[in-house]
Every structure is written in structure tokens, then in C-alpha cells.
Amino acid sequence: MKDVHVKLENVYKSFGPKHILRGINLDIQRGEIIYIIGKSGSGKSVTLKNITGLMRPDNGRILIDGYDIHNVDDNMLNEIRQKMGVLFQMAALFDSMPVFENVAFAPRRFTKMGEEEIKNLVRGKLELVGLKGVENLNPSALSGGMQKRVGLARAIALDPEIVLYDEPTTGVDPILGAAVDDLISSLNAKTGVTSIVISHDMTSVFRTAHRIAMLYDGVFRLVGTPAEFRNSDDPVIRQFVEGNAEGPIPIL
């Protein structure tokens, strides 16, 4: 029997008259890398915010380890959130803090670790993402790629079971994009973390994903493997596969 880590059941979300999610259903397996793709404005980030509990669906349920995150008390919700790490699109580091304090932020706030434990944890997480000797630097002294790595080190500081990535290759060159993809795959292989990636970068999707879920017109048009996407004869899916996702979509 498959181990469902995150489950979306008939999730709806609207903003006034604008219907974004129209009853999405998705089972995310423990330890997989799944990419959620779609055109700009299709609801990718809204889906991510609903999974993290930052946004509440109008209808439907989101279950993590079987718990409905929008039907638990605040203590349980905080426990569930501590099992998640988020890498934001632009890393979203605290500019006024050196790298060390950025990565140490969650352990200081949510644990009772001593300074030596925190020091070892921060160094270990930075090494895991391929960084050494940057603890005392400010984010402004780092390249964009290094900032993303620090952001990931911060996201995994509390050993989350789920890591969510919001457009991790946006704004980077192809070489750095490939390095970010390798980082996602490497972290998944080393830790077994469940990885949920929001992206429109089909090169990264096909390089990294175990499965892909495509949002279109408020629902998942296809959930499948990269091979299933490549072999699909659906004209909408073909546009994504061929890299023309932001072009005109045929009305079917």
C-alpha cells in the first residue's frame, strides 16, 4: 500500500468572482519529488499556500499524515508546520542577519538547543547544501545561487519531512538552474524528504521530477510521470512539454 504523505481532497479556492481552484485532488507519496506546473495565475502558489496552512480552502480538505490541517487546534497546526520547510522564490533571507543567524533562526525559536548544538547544526546544514565558511557573511555578499543554498539550509534546519519549493529556478541562468535541480535531487536522496516543487521551468521538471501534476482551468489536467507527459497527445500538455506554456492555449 502506498504511503500518502500529503492529500488534497476536492479543494476549492476563489477570490471574489475569480475561481482559482475548482476541486483539486492529489495524493503526494512520502519521499517523492512532485512538481506542480501550470500557466501564470493557474493556482500553483495558491495550492502551496493551502498546503502550508497559510491560506484556507473554501471547501475540501488538506491532510498531512492523516491530519486535516484546517481542522486542528493551534498547537497541532504548529507541530505540523514544523515538519515543513519552504524555500521561497527569491530565498527571502533576512538581510540584516549573517548566514549563521539565518539558518539558526528556527532552531533558536522552536527548540531548546544550546549554542554549541546550534553551531554544529548550522554547519552541518550548510555542508549538506554544499556551502562551507560562509557563516559570517551577510546575504548581500553572496551570489544568487549561494543565497538559494542558504535558503534551503534554513528551510531544512529542523529536519522537516516535507520541503516546498516556490519556483526555485526562477531568475537564474541554466547552469545555476541545473545546480538547483541537482540540490533538490541530492537532498531527496540523502534524507528521503518529500519534495513539492512549484515551477514552470519544464527543463527542470523533466530533469528532476518523479511525478508531475499540471493545473489547468482550476483542476489537475494530468498527474503522471515525466514519460506520461512526454507521450501525451493532449494539445494543452504538448504546449508545456514543448516549452510554449505561456503562449495561446487552444479552447477544447
Distance, CA of 55 to CA of 43 (rounded, Å): 12
Q: Which CATH superfamily groups domain 32-56+82-241?
A: P-loop containing nucleotide triphosphate hydrolases (3.40.50.300)
Q: How far is CA 52 from the centre of its chain?
A: 10
Cβ atoms of 57 and 21 within 8 Å: the answer is: yes
For the chain, the domains span 32-56+82-241
Give per-residue pLDDT as tens, 142-191.
887 788 888 888 988 988 999 999 888 876 778 778 888 888 998 899 88
- Among 117, 147, 110, 112, smallest CA distance to 131 is for 147
Residue with cell 548550522: 122
In this model, does residue 210 exceed pLDDT 60?
yes
- Among 242, 239, 243, 241, smallest CA distance to 251 is for 239
Alpha-carbon distance values, 249 to 35, 188, 213 (Å)? 21, 34, 18
- Signed CA dihedral, 223, 224, 229, 234: sign only: negative
Cβ atoms of 140 and 92 within 8 Å: the answer is: no
H or E element in which residue 14 lies: strand 4-15
pTM value is 0.87
Cβ atoms of 38 and 214 within 8 Å: the answer is: yes
Per-residue DSSP letter, 140: G
Give per-residue pLDDT as tens, 96-127.
899 999 999 989 988 889 999 999 999 999 98
